[in-house]
Amino acid sequence: MALTAADMKKIASLARIRQPEAALEPLAKEISGILDWIEQLGEVDTDGVEPMTSAVAMKMTMREDVVTEGGDPWRVLSNAPRTDRSFFVVPKVVE
């Protein structure tokens, strides 16, 4: 996938990263190379390969599935900067 300097300018704008015009073309070539390498990974035959979480075979330790009364939400929320009833209040991140 070949990126242009105009593509890099748009990406930098979206990421809110200021880049000088002279740096856009070399950066586009570098990121294009990375994207080409990622596309090569898609060509690897992974049929029959089980997903893994570690390079070392490990057995997942299980805990008992026991119903409890739960924690104390008010104690947990006492550290929150803002709360509303029994919820954390956070800034809106999706428009």
- The two tokens of residue 1 are 């996938």
- Name the residue with higher pLDDT: 48 or 72: 48
pLDDT band at 94, cuts 50/70/90?
confident
Query: Residue 70 above 80 pLDDT?
Result: no
Q: Is the pTM of this model over 0.85?
A: no
- Stretch 12-18: mean pLDDT: 92
Give domain status of residue 82, yes or no: no
The parent domain of residue 25 ranges over 5-41
- Please state the domain count of the chain: 1
Query: Residue 67 above 90 pLDDT?
Result: no
Cα distance between residue 83 and residue 10, in whole Å: 37
Residue 21: what pLDDT?
92
Give domain status of residue 79, yes or no: no
Give domain status of residue 84, yes or no: no
